[in-house]
Amino acid sequence: MKELIKSILPRIVVNKYRAYRAYKRYKGNSVLCPICNSSFKKFAPFGTSQRESRKCHNCGSLERHRLIFLYLNEKFNFFNNNSKDKIRLLHFAPEKMFYNIFSENNGIEYTACDLFPKEYNGKTKITKADITKIPFEDNSFDFIICSHVLEHIPNDRLAMSELYRVLSKKGDAILQVPIDYKRDKTYEDPNINSREERLQEYGHPDHVRYYGKDYKERLESCGFTVNVDHFISTLSKNNIFKYGLLESELIYHCKK
């Protein structure tokens, strides 16, 4: 019956109803999503992780999105750029909650790219682009954000080299991937091809490797200077809890 109702009602109505239910159920002030400024009793569970408070009920942000947002806000003049020179931002595989903010910001010249572009109905059209063959000139961007993309790319070194190529000389890139810090070396095996095997070996059916601590060296081998920023250690325990962050998460802030 539930499925029948779902199939008849337009998706927007279903989503609004879900948001309303979540609002009622999680109403509270213990956690705060800094991206959409919404407060809740706790965040929603997400994925197979044992952590139960992960996803924002309003904008859908996860720990990693909220960390990047706080980092951008704190370390860069990113959201309040009043200079006549806009920040030329390249955003690969744009997450909707970021897309909405970047595409509306007058201080940002926003370029969003995806191999399989989604329709977000915002001001910026998402360009279809292969990250191993980025269709822009050298040094075209002041800022690049590429989060949880490279673990999907078989030739990730080529993708890294392309990101390096299009980044301007003084530019900044935030290049995040899931990392297993118990591994010194990245684990990848070209013989692992099926979705079942990838799920088993890499934790996700679409991932083609599990990065280890040598992720930094891999970026460096493609030209980047990498600052592995333990930004989260600058935040208080209270704020880490309030914003729903993962204490082990590091930021890979790369320069040309």
Our CB check for Zn ion shows the closer of 35 and 160 to be 35
Our CB check for Zn ion shows the closer of 58 and 111 to be 58
Q: Which stretch binds Zn ion (CB under 5 A): 8-16, 36-44, 73-81, 136-144?
A: 36-44
**Helix or strand or coil: residue 224?**
coil
Residue of the chain from 32, 33, 68, 129 that contacts Zn ion (CB under 5 A): 33
Binding of Zn ion by 36 (CB under 5 A) = yes
Residue of the chain from 32, 56, 89, 113 that contacts Zn ion (CB under 5 A): 56
* DSSP string covering 137-193: -TT-EEEEEEES-GGG-TTHHHHHHHHHHHEEEEEEEEEE--B-TT-SS-B--TT--
CA–CA dist 84, 198 (Å, integer): 47
Residue 65 — φ and ψ, nearest 5°? -70, -45
Our CB check for Zn ion shows the closer of 33 and 90 to be 33
Residue of the chain from 31, 59, 101, 179 that contacts Zn ion (CB under 5 A): 59
Residue of the chain from 31, 32, 61, 129 that contacts Zn ion (CB under 5 A): 61
**CA-based nearest residue to 168, from 201, 139, 207:** 139
Express the helix, strand and coil content of the chain in percent, nearest 5 each: 35, 20, 45
**Helix or strand or coil: residue 231?**
helix
* 256, 77 contact by CB (below 8 A): no
Number of residues lying near Zn ion (CB under 5 A): 7
**Shortest reach from residue 22's CB to Zn ion, in Å:** 11
Query: Residue 110 is encoded by which pair of tokens?
Result: 């926003």
Our CB check for Zn ion shows the closer of 94 and 171 to be 94
Query: Residue 176 is encoded by which pair of tokens?
Result: 């995040």
Our CB check for Zn ion shows the closer of 33 and 167 to be 33
Our CB check for Zn ion shows the closer of 44 and 158 to be 44
Residue of the chain from 54, 58, 94, 143 that contacts Zn ion (CB under 5 A): 58
Q: In the structure, how many helices (H) and strands (E) does the chain have?
A: 8, 9
Q: Which stretch binds Zn ion (CB under 5 A): 8-16, 55-63, 133-141, 244-252?
A: 55-63
**Shortest reach from residue 169's CB to Zn ion, in Å:** 35
**Helix or strand or coil: residue 60?**
coil
Our CB check for Zn ion shows the closer of 99 and 202 to be 99
Contacting Zn ion within 161-200 (CB under 5 A):
none
**Shortest reach from residue 59's CB to Zn ion, in Å:** 3
Q: Which residues bind Zn ion (CB under 5 A)?
A: 33, 35-36, 56, 58-59, 61
